[in-house]
Amino acid sequence: MKRKPFNNLQYAIWIDQKKAIIACRDEAGKISTESLPSSIDAHPRFDGETTNKVGLFGATINHEKKIQHHWEQQRKLFLKDVAAHLSKVSSLIIMGPATTKYALYKELEKKKAFEHTRIELRTVDKMKLHEIRAVLSETAKA
């Protein structure tokens, strides 16, 4: 029984709170893209001078912590979904304007499949599809 050769795919990901765009270059040089929308709520904003006391007998319930925890869980699920779309990775470039790219990097570090993957982080502002493809094309030439 013959084994299939191991595909070395190169990925470039542009990610922020609202969506992730994943571009993949296969061994033949063909670049495919996929967009993943995020279900993360907007970052929670809290009212200023309000009381935390709600409930029976004056028990304090901190709504800010609850909302913040919910937001963190949504973000974690989004990052896991993005990581699940990556397979047979030889190199990866993670780009984005905010801290979400660092959170994705930390999520990928936890996975054994990315143990020998070369991961590069770049801080960039908004990028269009052709710009993300150009990043993959330029890494192929290098």
CATH number, domain at 48?
3.30.420.60
Give domain status of residue 1, yes or no. no
Say what the pLDDT of residue 44 is.
63
Q: How far apart (Å, rounded) are the C-alpha atoms in residues 108 and 94? A: 11
For the stretch 4-22, pLDDT in tens is: 445 588 999 999 989 999 9
Q: What is the pTM of this model?
A: 0.79
Which two three-digit tokens encode residue 14?
Answer: 């542009």
Q: How far apart (Å, rounded) are the C-alpha atoms in residues 125 and 16? A: 10
Strands 89-96 and 9-15: parallel
- Count structural domains, the chain: 1
Range of the domain at 37: 9-141
Give domain status of residue 54, yes or no. yes
Instruction: Give the H or E element holding residue 63.
Output: helix 63-84
For the stretch 58-96, pLDDT in tens is: 566 667 777 888 889 999 999 999 999 998 888 999 999
Give domain status of residue 3, yes or no. no
